[in-house]
Structure 1
Amino acid sequence: MRDNSVRKLVITVFAILLIGGLLVDSAAQKRRRTRRRSSAPRISNPEIYQPSPGDNSNSNSSETSTTNGNSNSNSSQTEDPESMKRTIRTLSTQVDRLTDKLNDLQASQQSIVDLERLSRAEQRSAQLRAELNSIQTKKGELAAHLEDIEFGLKPENIERSTAGIGTTRPEEVREQRRKQLESDRTRTQTQLDQLNASEGRAQQAIATSDADVDRLQKKLDAADRAAIENAKTNSQSGAPQVTASPTPTP
């Protein structure tokens, strides 16, 4: 009895599952059909545009304005060459004036640089002359000392200078005195030779520095004369220009 009831129960469950599967399959097919119908595009005929009378008047006015614009551009093109010539002449004049001002400014700056160089050259010349004076002073002192040595090297002077020394060998004392004076003479002569060489170098340096001073002074004088002549020319022509100011003499 139990086996029969179990079989009936299994058959009933299987039948229920089969019926449910069929129902689910039919529902899915209906959904697919509805989707296909909704995705199909609809074709509609567009409306034909009919222009109004106002549009025709607007198009005519736009064509008229275009024609007027073309005529104005043509007339402006015919006038462009003359205005371009005037503009070119004006720009050329301005460029010439700016070039003159730039040249004058460069000349003024160069004059300032030359003036500074002149001042340094003059200071160097003054320092070299001071050194030369010091060398010549020392040279004079050594020359006087050398004369004293030469005077002391005379035999009678050596004998006179050693006469007051009490000794039993006066000839050795005189020889020692003579050697001492000769050593002093050699040292003094060496110093004089060095001073003579220093004096020659100082004189050469002074000559070079003085030449630089003279050259720079002439250059500045020429720049001053050119500036004055330029100012006279500008005043006579009636076109004022910026000119380099004359450089003061230090």
Structure 2
Amino acid sequence: MIKIKGLSKKYHDNVVLDDVSLDIKEGDVIGIIGPSGTGKSTLLRCIDQLELPEKGSIDLGDKEIDLSKKNKKEINALRQHTGMVFQKFNLFEKKTALENVMEGLVVVKKLPKEDAKKIALQELSKVGMTSWANHYPKHLSGGQQQRVAIARALAMKPQLLLLDEPTSALDPELVGEVLDVIKDIAGKGYTMLLVSHEMSFVKNVSNRVIFLDKGHIVEDGTPAEVFEHPKNQRTKDFFAKMNLMNQPDYII
């Protein structure tokens, strides 16, 4: 069980997250949805300490980490157990796909380069990128770059995989290949928090969905409960505007 406790974040006077708490069971795939600007991406970034909240902590494994304090030792300890996939890939432009996947294994986990290379090749294979292992990001499509980014995150063997709108920066014709990869890894028991505007995909791939609005979790349930029978009026209004209630599932 992973516990996010009392997470609060604001920018100047704008409260983005307001005392958010979340219990995450092993193997949960939790879709995080809601209107833009309600703290979805900020939640993931605070969990991984890419941004510091005003307060909040995470229980991960046998350790509680205060997310509001920038402690290099604790940040490194946290990132031994988390993996992050960003909207815009965040690959190192001067490193090959293989070197990008190896980076965290060598720098964070302190593995010998040969061991890191072996693991990196295995993870690239899982996302269908073995043939592009020695290519630089500028020679890869957006979908290919995002698959490398997913391999990089998986290589760390994370207890918690954080995916921040992984298809939002892709051309429409490339979205499907990345969703296919995410669906595949979701079926392998990874614990995941997935922020996405691909609503039908979230409904199909998640076992739990939370709806964030104005920094609060206003809906939390199974995909069927949240998408088909929402209880909160804000959730109902959101889906009504998007014409999403009772739409068919995402199909690959």
Both proteins in one fold, TM over 0.5: no
Structure with the bigger percentage of helix: 1
Structure with the bigger percentage of strand: 2
Q: Which has the higher contact order (CA 8 A, sep 6+)?
A: 1
